[in-house]
Structure 1
């Protein structure tokens, strides 16, 4: 492979890695009670290769990755599946819907839960919503 071809391939690889985003769940508030995670996720674009970063008080909260039914019903998986470091980084490796809940007490029922839709590799960006006026 010539230098020019190697350089072109290298730039493509670097640009695709550079585009990965770390999404701090809840921004400055983090993973906590009394926060609207549906609103938080609404205007964000999640892509394969991005990371979800859950930052929270690990004495008071945890994170479970669940399926849609468990999310809706606030059903916790086995306790040993909890993420509980207080700074959990979850790589988004596949496209599709992803569901997360806090498994402590009634936190999920109190809306401490997050659902996102991850765009697969090569998915087009969503079209901007039309302007009103």
Structure 2
């Protein structure tokens, strides 16, 4: 087996192990992303443990709602003027790629003020506490169907985060080089 084929096998094994560690969270659970009813998104988020690699799903009626990713300052004041990202499909899946606070709200007038906003506090894989909110927001992967911006230089190493990524790497090397499996 060539070196290139070996590298592909190792990377595939790492990716499978890393992806299996992710959880999927539907914002608001069965209620979804809405102003109808009495959904407390602060309470919803506090009851969850979010980690790097998790997928956050916003389900809503796209005729009446949207999702904006914003800074902490914008979140506190419900300022919709210059969001970091805007999602409008009604079924937005967002992969969290970094620890820390990620701020979202509905940009329809009055909805954020009515409580349609959520602060998702993402823990690293080792479960240490995330930093307190700052004026900047950590990067996330865009929702499905949205053009992907060029990745940061650190992005390829995200697969090595946490024990499962390193365990996968060790297992792949052991299987290939010690046992001779391809």
Q: Please, what TM-score do these two structures have when normalized by structure 2?
A: 0.59
* Residue in 2 that maps onto 1:123: 126
Where 1:71 maps in the other structure, the secondary structure is helix
* Residue in 2 that maps onto 1:98: 102
Could you report, residue by residue, the CA deviation over 1:54-106 in whole angstroms, capped at 9, with x for unpaired residues?
00000000000001110000001448942110001111011111100000010
Q: Is the 8 A contact 1:100 1:113 kept in 2?
A: yes
* Residue in 1 that maps onto 2:32: 30
Q: Is the 8 A contact 1:61 1:104 kept in 2?
A: yes
Q: Is the 8 A contact 2:33 2:60 kept in 1?
A: yes
Q: Is the 8 A contact 1:66 1:77 kept in 2?
A: no
* Residue in 1 that maps onto 2:176: none
Question: CA 1:80–1:100 in structure 2 vs 1: closer, same or farther (change >3 Å)?
Answer: closer
Separation in 2, partners of 1:82, 1:125: 30
Separation in 1, partners of 2:46, 2:126: 18
* Residue in 2 that maps onto 1:131: none
Q: What's the C-alpha RMSD, in Å, of the aligned pairs?
A: 2.5
Which of these two proteins has the greater Rg computed from alpha carbons? 2
Query: Which structure shows the bigger proportion of residues in strand conformation?
Result: 1
Unaligned 5+ residue runs, structure 2? Answer: 4-8, 130-182
Separation in 1, partners of 2:47, 2:84: 33
Separation in 2, partners of 1:81, 1:114: 15
Count of aligned pairs? 120
Question: CA 1:89–1:71 in structure 2 vs 1: closer, same or farther (change >3 Å)?
Answer: same
